Amino acid sequence: MAIISYLLPLFLSLIIISSASANFQRDVEITWGDGRGQIKNNGELLTLTLDKSSGSGFQSKNEYLFGKIDMQMKLVPGNSAGTVTTLYLKSPGTTWDEIDFEFLGNSSGDPYTLHTNVYTQGKGDKEQQFKLWFDPTADFHTYSILWNPQRIIFTVDGTPIREFKNMESLGTLFPKNKPMRMYSSLWNADDWATRGGLVKTDWSKAPFTATYRGFKQEACVWSNGKSSCPNGSKQGTTGTSGSWLSQQLDSTAQQRMRWVQRNYMIYNYCTDSKRFPQGLPKECLAA
């Protein structure tokens, strides 16, 4: 017990981490939807609902400059065509930074499309899309964004699906200066979401509902112009508590990511030569 009493203050001084027991009442606020977003079970569960009038959304109370965000989600079941469920980090302003998970719904029996993107200073166009190797509507699955000064890693149930490295040395923008909040939303985008807008939302199936639990935030929390990380948010810490600040993919994780990309990736901007007739982006050539 003496060891625990000694280590706990040190652990908390290194980095602010949410309790292992997620509590949406404490950690997030529902920001739009006029009652369509609801926190339930004493903060353990959150639901977002979409009907013909409106969708809904929520955001984290904390703002982060680097972190690892985990969320367990169960997506809209059945015919979800036209709907988009999101989980992302974003900074405010017209030249914003953003790290995206977007789940594009589909007709019953067809898989969701998982769309990822990275924006820096309001510039994106770095899309990769995947089909998932499971039914994301049948049960909860964990979707994670790890963001540190060296890289961004998108992970599904512990399996990395995408890594976006800091390649500022090549002139590629990387989000590292602007604090971001976590956001999630459920909304209608049937003008583009499903097969480029060919399949529209079937409102006879409404209301549509996505369910959330297990929100975890290991992060440098940004407040009043300061980071909770002791050396500043741009420098990694050592030890287990700060490992995500310098984390990279080991050989096993890289092999797993290549397996996902080989079998489940359906679009990669780095291979779209028609989109970049003057040549692929430099970060694609260096990958």
Active-site residue set: 98, 102
Whether the link from the prior residue into 207 is cis, omega within 30° of 0, is yes
- Is residue 116 within 8 Å of 103, Cβ to Cβ? no
Q: Is 208 exposed, middle or buried (0-12, 13-18, 19+ CB in 10 A)?
A: buried
Which structure tokens are listed for 170?
A: 């090549």
Helix (H, G, I), strand (E, B), or coil: what is residue 25? helix
Q: How far apart are CA 166 and CA 188, in angstroms?
A: 33
Dihedral of CA atoms 178, 152, 26, 3 in degrees, nearest 10, equals -110
What CA–CA distance (Å, rounded) separates 57 from 55?
7
Token pair of 245 as six digits: 């600040």
Cβ-contact 251, 259 below 8 angstroms: no
